[in-house]
């Protein structure tokens, strides 16, 4: 079987973090903590999270925001209009899934200019909150189905051998405590523990979506103006 790993690092120093948050609770303390532990850390982000981190850095370091990199500048691909596609890019997932002692993966990183991501901090669009507040609004529910977030979380959790995944603000303080205790590193056991939380979180998220859509009826589609064919729709008829 391909990509079977027999050797992996225990301690991984956090140098590159990918951060994309719907709920920005605790973000300031997390960013300040990461910078305190490793002043050279590079933070990759998108959209509103990028803007929030930029303001935190300005308040901390004045005009110096050199620690922060916009994902679209890193990938060379602009975000899709409306923000539907921001992180679904080969360079991102190469950096999440590449294994530490795999020379072929290292070759791929070198070939594309990608990097190893050591930390992923993501929380998801508030699907459950949305359907609880307005259960009959199918379009609001559809719009709050996160695609990139679960993909980043599952990728990083799958590669817990090297990557730490954080999916809830309540874990930030424990994570920073671990880094301070271990000189900026997470252990293999730490990463497995966070991966377990991540898989539980994404499984519940998918279960909420499945339950909601299993109860939708044809009359829920009345909110959409329907054209006869896809060709008519794209031609504006």
Band of pLDDT at residue 171, cut at 50, 70 and 90: very high
Name which of 208, 77, 221, 200 is nearest 137 in CA terms.
Answer: 221
pLDDT above 60: residue 184: yes
Could you tell me if 98 and 105 are in contact, meaning their C-beta atoms sit under 8 angstroms apart? yes
And the tokens for 212? Answer: 């909601």
What pLDDT was estimated at residue 5? Answer: 75
pTM attached to this predicted model: 0.89
Compute the average pLDDT of residues 87-101.
Answer: 89
| β-bridge pairing 185-186 and 12-13 | antiparallel
pLDDT tier at 27, thresholds 50, 70, 90: very high
- Which pLDDT tens digit goes with each residue over 104-144? 889 988 999 999 999 999 999 999 999 999 998 999 999 99
What's the whole-number mean pLDDT along residues 25-47? 97
Domain 12-234 in CATH 3.40.50.1380? The answer is yes
Q: Reply yes or no on whether the pLDDT at 149 is more than 60.
A: yes
Flag whether pLDDT at 77 surpasses 70. yes
Residue pair 94/114 in contact by the 8 Å Cβ criterion: yes
Q: Where are the domains of the chain?
A: 12-234
Question: Which of the four pLDDT bands, split at 50, 70 and 90, describes residue 74?
Answer: very high
Q: Assess contact for 71 and 87: CB atoms under 8 A.
A: yes
Which is nearest to 184 in space by CA: 17, 8, 7, 1?
17
């Amino acid at each position: 079987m391909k990509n079977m790993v027999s050797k992996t690092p225990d301690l991984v120093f956090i140098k590159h973090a990918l951060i994309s948050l719907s709920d920005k609770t605790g973000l300031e303390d997390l960013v300040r903590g990461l910078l305190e532990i490793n002043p050279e850390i590079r933070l990759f982000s998108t959209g509103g999270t990028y803007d929030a981190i930029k303001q935190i850095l300005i308040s901390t370091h004045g005009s110096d925001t050199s620690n922060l990199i916009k994902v679209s500048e890193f990938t060379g691909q602009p975000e899709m209009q409306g923000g539907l596609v921001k992180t679904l890019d080969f360079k991102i997932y190469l950096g999440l899934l590449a294994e530490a002692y795999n020379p072929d993966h290292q070759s791929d990183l070198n070939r594309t200019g990608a990097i190893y991501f050591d930390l992923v901090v993501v929380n998801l669009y508030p699907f459950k909150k949305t359907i609880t507040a307005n259960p009959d609004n199918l379009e609001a529910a559809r719009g709050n189905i996160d695609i990139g977030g679960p993909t980043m979380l599952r990728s990083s959790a799958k590669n817990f051998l090297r990557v730490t995944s954080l999916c809830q603000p309540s874990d930030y303080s424990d994570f920073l405590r671990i880094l301070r205790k271990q000189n900026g590193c997470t252990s293999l056991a730490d990463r497995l523990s966070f991966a377990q939380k991540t898989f539980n979180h994404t499984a519940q998220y998918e279960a909420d979506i499945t339950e909601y859509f299993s109860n939708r009826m044809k009359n829920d589609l009345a909110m959409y103006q329907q054209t006869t064919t896809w060709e008519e729709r794209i031609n504006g008829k």
